[in-house]
Structure formats: structure tokens, C-alpha cells
Amino acid sequence: MHIIATFSIVAYDAATQSWGVAVQSKFLAAGSEVCWARARVGAVATQALANPRFGPLGLAMLEQDLSADEVVAGLIGGDPGRALRQVGVVDRHGQAASFTGDECPPWAGHRTGEHFCCQGNILTGAGVVDAMAAAFERHSEQPFAERLVGVLEAGQAAGGDSRGQQAAALLIARHRGGFGGYSDRAMDLRVDDHPTPIVELARLVALHRELFGT
């Protein structure tokens, strides 16, 4: 059993019409499993004893204009391992929903707010997701990528993953937001194995800004 001991945020930025996921985990290359987003559709994070099918299935449901609550209910309702799952969803309208199974390793839980949800498992305590939610709400003036990385920084400062750090990732989808306007991947940055992955992710975001602008 490989538990993705993780804290993540799934969010929507109305100003830029962007959807994003940011994650930190004591799990190699966590971003490759946790982060899913599609422009004009929504975003999904799947973690704990992660069901990787939740990513593509969740996006397919969001594509049908189901709400975040409906998507979470559909994913969990059809999964016999739901007690060990954790999932966060933001839909195309910015509505957010999250689920934490009763058997997720403690501390595990989530917080939802306007245009975002934060979730985590094997955390040092509830203060981690509380700090993440507060950081997202407090820094609405920041560019979306920096705001999401700031949420990870706040979670880590509040204790983070009780097993330590290893990987971090950021995925942002925006219509024609990719290189040259040829794709919707505005940012897709991953730190797969690093002693301070959030610090490294922040460096990559700054480098991305320097090379490609907004």
C-alpha cells in the first residue's frame, strides 16, 4: 500500500479564467498522480491511497457540467476503497468540494471556501489546512501561480506532512495559456525529489515568469 501523504490545494482564478492544483508530499513524483486540470472545465486532486482514475474520470464528469459536489459524490460513490481516499474538485464555475475518507491516515481532513479546497493526510494537525485556506483567502492580489505556491508555503510553515518533504508540483490550465498559445497548459512544473521541494518549486515559478512572462 502506497499512501500519498499529501497536502494540496485545488482552485479557480476568476480574473484569469484559470484552474490549478498545487501539492507537496513525502512521495516521489507526487504531482504525476495528484494533479489534474483542464481549461474551461475544472481541476481535481486525488491523494491518500490515491485512485488515479479519479483524475480523468473527474475531468470527464466536469466536462458534462456537473458541479464539484456531484463529481465528488460520483467518484466516491462508485469506489469500494472510498474510506481510504481523499479528493478535491473545483468545477468550471469555481465551486469547490472535497472528501476525506474515514480511514485516511491521521491527521486527515479538508477545508473548502470560495473558489478553492485544501486537503491533506498524515499531517501534523488541522492547523496545516487551516493555514493553507487562510493564505489563499488573504493573498487574492497575487498572480495565481504565486498564490498557490504561497498556500503550500503556509501549509509547510504550519507543520506540513508529518513524515517530511520530498516532492511538489503546480499545474495551471487556462485557455490558450501554454507556450505560443498552442496549448492550455499555462504552467506544469514538478519537483519530483528534493529536500526542500516547495522552495525549489517557487524558484521554478520565478524562472518561468522570467522566461515566458505572464
Question: In the chain, pLDDT over 70 holds for what percent of residues?
Answer: 97
Grid cell listed for 26: 513525502
**What is the distance of C-alpha 121 from the center of its chain?**
13
pLDDT (tens digit per residue) in 108-151:
999 999 999 999 999 999 999 999 999 999 999 999 999 999 99
Interval 36-47 mean pLDDT: 98
Interval 34-57 mean pLDDT: 96
State the pLDDT confidence band at 7, using cuts at 50, 70 and 90.
very high
Q: What is the mean pLDDT of the chain?
A: 96
Which CATH code of 3.40.190.10, 3.30.365.10, 3.40.50.300, 3.60.20.10 fits the domain covering 6-212?
3.60.20.10
State the pLDDT confidence band at 1, using cuts at 50, 70 and 90.
low
pLDDT at residue 16, as a whole number? 97
pLDDT (tens digit per residue) in 167-197:
999 999 999 999 889 999 999 999 999 999 9
pLDDT at residue 67, as a whole number? 98
Q: Are strands 109-113 and 18-25 parallel, antiparallel or unpaired?
A: unpaired
Statement: residue 3 has pLDDT above 90: no
